[in-house]
Amino acid sequence: MISKTIRIRFAPSPTGYLHVGGLRTALYNYLFARQNKGVFILRIEDTDRTRYVEGAVENLINTLRWAGLDFDEGPKKGGSFGPYIQSERLDIYRKYAEQLVNDGKAYYCFCTSERLEKMRDDLEGTGAFAKYDKTCLKLSQSDIEKNLAVRSTYVIRMKVPENRIIKFHDLIREEVEIASDLIDDQVLIKSDGYPTYHLANVVDDHLMKVTHVIRGEEWLPSVPKHILLYEYFGWEIPKLAHLPLLLNADRSKLSKRQGDVAVEDYKAKGYLKEGLVNFVAFLGWNPGDEREIFSLDELVKEFSLERVGKAGAIFNIEKLNWINLQHIHQKTNEDLIPILKEILSNSKYKGLNLSDEYLANVIGAMRVRINYVSGILEKSSYFFEQPQSYDENVLKKHWRQETPNQLSKLIKEYSLLQNPTKEDYETALKKTAEQLGIGAGKLIHPTRLAVSGMGEGPGLYDILFTLGKEEVIKRIETAINKIKF
């Protein structure tokens, strides 16, 4: 355990949905905070107004809570260091930016976007590193005052020292060095008055007493800018840990082009929160042994930054499916009913009024055949509507000229049943086959085709029992009338 009170923050941008990489960052922060009896903070970094999506903050909060990652301080929950939404803290950032200007650590820049674009093009044309040429750093005080007096558009830039090696220790990367000559004079306050990530992040982490910053590897090149800001303000630098990238199977950066990347997409498909969180925990971390199935509480006990690797982590959907299936096995049919109900409510079957008993039977029949709950709709829509068509290959193989007559006899036998069990359906079918002098398979395959439209699936008698006698008889009669030999 760490003696100092740990304060950890997850600081997403409200851009519409929670990326699975964001869930991993939130999870690792949460696990580290809980393991060390610390504080888990949610801070919304919404200073890039071009990317802001209405309703995204509420969605972020709801998605985190769905995953079981409830925060101790944050929007709508409060805390001693609020507000926790950056757009509500603009005066704070302005004050600290002006302090840097007054201290000679930052300066006003009045360059137009056209000049900056030409400057970048010229530098790139020579093969030089394209960064700001410090033109406005050379302005006299009178020039600055004149520009401010006539309300010229400006930004505030950080003054980056030249010819310096900036070193820092990363809990995952260990010792890192970056030359200051590769760092631009970063904009701290944009022309719209909003801070950039760099200023807001440093100011907020300091004021919110954040002790550890755990975030994605993509922020690693920005660390020297942040270190300079900490030095300029005379503040203590939090401990840093930069997580490995998430990669597709081809080792390209994980993107929506190759599959779902939003947590909400996996939730909508009926992946269990336990399965998704378990899988995401292994995207960069491992427990050091062969165990793969963990609850959230078990992850809290086992997690350590020392076991987070540097190499990119492959997002393997087959692995996710397998892990999710193990968590499905740990649930009862009744546990999965609310998930199936939500999926149905967002499907074309939303108008169906199905009992919990019926849904439990559907889940019981399909649970060993699915990796996520919406797989029930994908693989067995016949539980929610009559077959719209019949598998041609099964028809050719199992539907004969005599089949309608044989199924008619089965209907008569089924009509005699009272509140039939699965065993009753089986007994009646075998009895009918015996009376017809045929093997049971001659009835099993056509009956399955008639009630489901398919040649495979769960046990036939599970299907018949779940659908109920009246529905089974109706579907067999429909098949007899629709299928012409």
- Radius of gyration in angstroms for the set of CA atoms belonging to the chain, rounded to a whole number: 31
Cβ atoms of residues 193 and 86 within 8 Å: no
Residue with tokens 């009956």: 447
Q: Which two tokens stand for residue 25?
A: 């960052």
Cβ atoms of residues 72 and 79 within 8 Å: yes
Of 118, 253, 256, 301, which one is the catalytic site residue?
256
Alpha-carbon span 278 to 291, nearest angstrom: 11
For residue 433, the tally of other CB atoms under 10 A from its CB is: 19
H or E segment at 155? Answer: strand 155-158
Alpha helices in 153-208 (DSSP H): 197-207
**Which pLDDT value is given to residue 3?**
55
Alpha helices in 380-440 (DSSP H): 392-398, 403-415, 422-436
**Residue 256 known to be catalytic:** yes
- Give the residue from 103, 41, 215, 7 showing the smallest Cα distance to 223: 215
**Which pLDDT value is given to residue 485?**
66
Residue by residue, pLDDT tens for the chain (485 residues) are 455 799 999 999 998 899 999 999 999 999 999 999 999 999 999 988 888 889 999 999 999 999 999 999 999 999 999 999 999 999 999 999 999 999 999 999 999 999 999 998 888 878 777 889 999 999 999 999 999 999 999 999 999 999 999 999 999 999 999 999 889 999 999 999 999 999 999 999 999 999 999 999 999 999 999 999 999 999 999 999 999 999 988 888 887 666 678 999 999 999 999 999 999 999 999 999 999 999 999 999 999 999 999 999 999 999 999 999 999 999 999 999 999 999 999 999 999 999 999 999 999 999 999 999 999 999 999 999 999 999 999 999 999 999 999 999 999 999 999 999 999 999 999 999 999 999 999 999 999 999 999 999 999 999 999 999 999 999 999 999 999 86
CB environment 221-232: b (16+ within 10 A), e (fewer): ebbbbbbbbeeb
Alpha-carbon span 255 to 12, nearest angstrom: 17
Alpha-carbon span 46 to 57, nearest angstrom: 9
For residue 97, the tally of other CB atoms under 10 A from its CB is: 22
The torsion defined by the Cα of 201, 203, 208 and 214, in degrees rounded to 10, comes to 30
Cβ atoms of residues 43 and 2 within 8 Å: no
Alpha-carbon span 265 to 346, nearest angstrom: 13
Cβ atoms of residues 214 and 243 within 8 Å: yes
For residue 110, give the amino acid letter: F
Range list of β-strands (E), 198-321: 212-216, 239-243, 246-247, 313-314
β 174-179/165-170 pair status: antiparallel
Residue 285 carries which DSSP code?
A: B
Cβ atoms of residues 92 and 98 within 8 Å: no
Alpha helices in 317-402 (DSSP H): 317-329, 333-345, 356-366, 375-379, 392-398
409: phi then psi, degrees, rounded to nearest 5: -65, -35
Alpha-carbon span 141 to 251, nearest angstrom: 52
- Give the residue from 438, 442, 453, 458 showing the smallest Cα distance to 398: 442
**Which pLDDT value is given to residue 108?**
97
Q: Which two tokens stand for residue 380?
A: 């067995």
